[in-house]
């Protein structure tokens, strides 16, 4: 019997090459899964989180397989999405001490993209470059992938993973305070999707009673007739400012507390609804006069959601009384839909960082000078409402901001971030004093009511208030709205004007009541909605959302919805 011919050397080389190529193709399928496994071990802290990571990973993979049928390309696309989520989540945590959740995805809009491309001018080219690199890579994986998976089984697997994840998230819901942990990015994001969709189905974006027995009358545009002289009103957003003497052992410079006192020498507390970063929560409070907490899991995007939907607020009430309304904003107007939100609440003239010619972060004196300049252009007989939004005391405090402005400053011997915070507060106090002097000099005899407030405490405040607590303990206190973590200040000042005494001028108020306090101090007649809110304030002793576990806020929201000033929520 003749023996089989031995393969020649070329055939052997070809066979080895084919084997190597086959292994390479298998690696193309396996590599993204191995990378995801390593990422899971590095970012997910416990068994439950890792289960959710794997389920979310399965949902992503089977989603792409259902569309493309190629597991290598599907795994690569899934890995790219997870890595992008981790990077964005870490960025968000650095800014506002919370990781990304599913609501972030729900709220992506044109304003968000415009803002990002504006503040990061090279981002557009980075996206284009990434696309030029990614498209050929994806095509290579498409060609290398040796497997083809049928769409129907892939869809069934995706739905199975989704059902298990939903059941797990409902049975063992993630604690909300874990959002303050800098880990578990994919597991928290995926579990928040279940709870966010559930909350939206149950009550929409905003909590409100189903029905209300009372009705509010919608005020007529020209129905406001103040009995006395209408003062010009200036509301000042004092970035990240609170009386740090609330923390034990912090050394402060001489005369430190005077910045927090009103014209009558009293210090008053303002309870914000955020800690550490989201100034727009308080922006919503002081313009709309409502609570961001009514938006539940959607509160982080309150100004975006309220834009075009919440047509009620301090500027609108003052316009009804003949005021011209102006806002000076230190960032770009697309940020968190600030421009469209403020216009919705009654701001007629909105000037953002670009309009004002701001270069990066500016000292408070920059915005005060712009305010004085704009006031000079306004008709003297038309009362003015001006919202001045400051930013110099914004994080980070690890680096010195404009040390040239405080050449004689000496540290107090605290931690570096605390001393830098105190230095910036001293700059703010000096700039405010100069602003008041400028008002008196440029507008002699004209009446001004000035109300300042701290929008939230700085992000490091929990660590100086409770240095013994770990991240979990701090997260629980933040979630429980411990007043020590949310108390800042509000102060009432006046130039050539005597503020009207009112029972709303309480020692401690929730943020949404500030518009009411301002109107009362200015002697402005209240429209029916603010008159109703005044009764709530007096009944609840300065609390709003926390009064009766949110019942008063839900009832009030329903009254505003029935009156037609809140819609689409």
Q: What is the pLDDT of residues 302-311, one digit of tens each?
A: 998 999 999 9
> Any alpha helices (H) in 257-358, and if so which ranges?
279-288, 302-306, 314-320, 338-344, 353-356
Question: Is residue 520 one of the residues assigned to a domain?
Answer: yes
- pLDDT, tens digit, 9 for 90 and up, residues 147-158: 788 999 999 999
Q: Which residue has the higher pLDDT, 268 or 119?
A: 268
Given a cut of 90, whether residue 6 has pLDDT beyond it is no
Question: Is residue 96 domain-shared with residue 47, that is, in the same domain?
Answer: yes
Confidence of residue 11 (pLDDT cuts 50, 70, 90): very low
Question: Is residue 158 domain-shared with residue 237, that is, in the same domain?
Answer: no
Question: Is residue 445 domain-shared with residue 506, that is, in the same domain?
Answer: yes
Question: Is residue 187 domain-shared with residue 92, that is, in the same domain?
Answer: yes
Question: Is residue 138 domain-shared with residue 32, that is, in the same domain?
Answer: yes
- Mean local confidence (pLDDT), 128-132: 64
pLDDT for 14: 44
Going by C-alpha positions, the residue among 80, 72, 68, 67 that lies closest to residue 130 is 80
Q: Which residue has the higher pLDDT, 5 or 146?
A: 146
pLDDT for 99: 77
Given a cut of 90, whether residue 112 has pLDDT beyond it is no
pTM of the model: 0.80
pLDDT for 90: 82
Given a cut of 70, whether residue 134 has pLDDT beyond it is no
Name the strand (E) or helix (H) holding 235: strand 232-238
Question: Is residue 421 domain-shared with residue 488, that is, in the same domain?
Answer: yes
Question: Is residue 485 one of the residues assigned to a domain?
Answer: yes
Confidence of residue 359 (pLDDT cuts 50, 70, 90): confident
Range of the domain at 32: 20-203
Given a cut of 80, whether residue 113 has pLDDT beyond it is no
pLDDT for 8: 54
Question: Is residue 550 one of the residues assigned to a domain?
Answer: yes
pLDDT for 198: 79
Question: Is residue 133 one of the residues assigned to a domain?
Answer: yes
User: Omega into 18 within 30° of 0, i.e. cis?
Assistant: no
Report whether 447 contacts 233 (CB < 8 A).
no
Given a cut of 70, whether residue 452 has pLDDT beyond it is yes
Instruction: Give me the DSSP letters along 470-526.
Output: -HHHHHHHHHTT-HHHHB--EEEEEES--PPP-TT--SEEEGGGHHHHHHHHHTPPP
State both tokens at 157: 């697997």
Given a cut of 90, whether residue 301 has pLDDT beyond it is no
Question: Is residue 13 one of the residues assigned to a domain?
Answer: no
- pLDDT, tens digit, 9 for 90 and up, residues 13-36: 444 444 554 565 677 678 889 999
Question: Is residue 224 one of the residues assigned to a domain?
Answer: no
Residue by residue, what is the 3-state secondary structure of 333-346?
CCHHHHHHHHHHCC
State both tokens at 230: 């209408």
Question: Is residue 524 one of the residues assigned to a domain?
Answer: yes
Question: Is residue 336 domain-shared with residue 241, that is, in the same domain?
Answer: yes
Strands 448-454, 490-495: pairing is: antiparallel
Question: Is residue 174 domain-shared with residue 248, that is, in the same domain?
Answer: no
The CATH number that applies at residue 409 is 3.40.720.10
Question: Is residue 109 domain-shared with residue 65, that is, in the same domain?
Answer: yes
Name the strand (E) or helix (H) holding 164: helix 151-171
C-alpha atoms less than 13 angstroms from C-alpha of 305 in its C-beta half-sphere: 24
State both tokens at 288: 């709309």
Going by C-alpha positions, the residue among 304, 317, 311, 356 that lies closest to residue 235 is 317
Residues contacting 61, CB < 8 A, separation 6+: 71, 74, 75, 78
- pLDDT, tens digit, 9 for 90 and up, residues 243-258: 999 999 999 999 999 9
Question: Is residue 131 domain-shared with residue 273, that is, in the same domain?
Answer: no
The SS3 assignment for 128 reads helix
Residues contacting 563, CB < 8 A, separation 6+: 215, 216, 217, 218, 528, 529
Q: What is the mean pLDDT of the chain?
A: 87
- Mean local confidence (pLDDT), 278-284: 94
Confidence of residue 105 (pLDDT cuts 50, 70, 90): low
Which of 184, 203, 222 terminates a domain? The answer is 203
pLDDT for 17: 45
- Mean local confidence (pLDDT), 518-536: 95
- How much of the chain exceeds pLDDT 90, in percent? 60
Count structural domains, the chain.
Answer: 2
Question: Is residue 313 domain-shared with residue 454, that is, in the same domain?
Answer: yes
pLDDT for 16: 45
For tokens 């939206």, the residue is 200
Question: Is residue 569 one of the residues assigned to a domain?
Answer: no
- Mean local confidence (pLDDT), 400-413: 93
Least confident of 193-202, 319-328, 443-452: 193-202
CA dihedral 509, 512, 513, 519 (to 10 degrees): 140
Question: Is residue 65 domain-shared with residue 184, that is, in the same domain?
Answer: yes
Q: Which residue has the higher pLDDT, 129 or 187?
A: 187
């Amino acid at each position: 019997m003749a023996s089989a011919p031995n393969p020649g050397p070329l055939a052997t080389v070809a066979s080895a090459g084919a084997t190597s190529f086959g292994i390479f193709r298998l690696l193309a399928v396996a590599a993204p899964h191995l990378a995801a496994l390593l990422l899971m071990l590095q970012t997910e802290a416990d068994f439950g989180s890792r289960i959710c990571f794997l389920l979310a990973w399965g949902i992503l993979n089977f989603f792409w397989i259902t569309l493309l049928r190629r597991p290598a390309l599907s795994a690569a696309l899934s890995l790219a999405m997870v890595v992008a989520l981790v990077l964005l989540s870490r960025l968000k945590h650095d800014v506002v001490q919370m990781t990304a959740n599913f609501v972030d995805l729900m709220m992506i809009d044109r304003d968000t993209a415009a803002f990002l491309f504006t503040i990061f001018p090279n981002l557009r080219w980075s996206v284009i470059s990434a696309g030029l690199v990614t498209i050929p890579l994806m095509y290579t994986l498409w060609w290398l992938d040796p497997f083809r998976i049928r769409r129907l089984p892939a869809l069934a697997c995706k739905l199975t993973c989704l059902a298990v994840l939903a059941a797990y998230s409902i049975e063992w819901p993630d604690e909300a305070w874990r959002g303050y942990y800098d880990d578990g990015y994919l597991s928290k994001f995926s579990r928040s999707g279940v709870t966010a969709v559930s909350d939206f189905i149950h009550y929409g974006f905003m909590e409100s009673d189903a029905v209300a027995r009372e009705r509010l009358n919608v005020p007529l545009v020209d129905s406001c007739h103040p009995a006395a002289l209408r003062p010009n009103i200036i509301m000042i957003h004092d970035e990240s400012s609170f009386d740090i003497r609330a923390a034990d052992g912090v050394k402060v410079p001489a005369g430190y507390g005077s910045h927090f006192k009103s014209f009558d020498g009293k210090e008053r507390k303002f309870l914000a609804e955020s800690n550490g970063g989201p100034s727009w929560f308080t922006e919503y409070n002081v313009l709309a006069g409502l609570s961001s907490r009514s938006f539940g899991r959607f509160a982080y995007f309150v100004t975006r959601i309220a834009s075009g939907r919440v047509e009620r607020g301090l500027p609108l009430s003052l316009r009804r009384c003949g005021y011209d309304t102006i806002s000076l904003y230190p960032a770009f107007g697309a940020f968190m839909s600030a421009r469209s939100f403020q216009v919705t609440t009654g701001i007629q003239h909105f000037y953002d960082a670009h309009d004002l010619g701001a270069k990066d972060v500016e000292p408070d004196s920059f915005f005060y000078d712009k305010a004085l300049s704009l006031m000079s252009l306004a008709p003297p007989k038309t009362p003015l409402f001006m919202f001045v939004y400051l930013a110099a005391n914004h994080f980070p405090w690890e680096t010195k901001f404009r040390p040239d402005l405080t050449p004689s400053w000496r540290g107090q011997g605290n931690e570096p971030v605390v001393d830098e915070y105190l230095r910036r507060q001293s700059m703010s106090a000096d700039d405010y004093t100069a602003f008041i002097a400028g008002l008196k000099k440029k507008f002699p005899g004209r009446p001004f009511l000035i109300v300042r407030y701290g929008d939230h405490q700085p992000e490091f405040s929990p660590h100086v208030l409770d240095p013994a607590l770990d991240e979990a303990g701090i997260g629980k206190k933040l979630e429980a709205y411990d007043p020590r973590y949310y108390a800042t200040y509000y102060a009432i000042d006046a130039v050539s004007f005597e503020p009207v005494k009112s029972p709303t001028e309480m020692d401690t108020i929730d943020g949404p009541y500030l518009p009411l306090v301002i109107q009362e101090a200015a002697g402005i007649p209240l429209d029916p909605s603010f008159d109703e809110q005044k009764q709530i304030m007096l009944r609840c002793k300065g609390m709003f959302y926390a009064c009766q576990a949110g019942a008063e806020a839900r009832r009030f929201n329903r009254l505003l919805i029935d009156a037609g000033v809140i819609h689409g929520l």
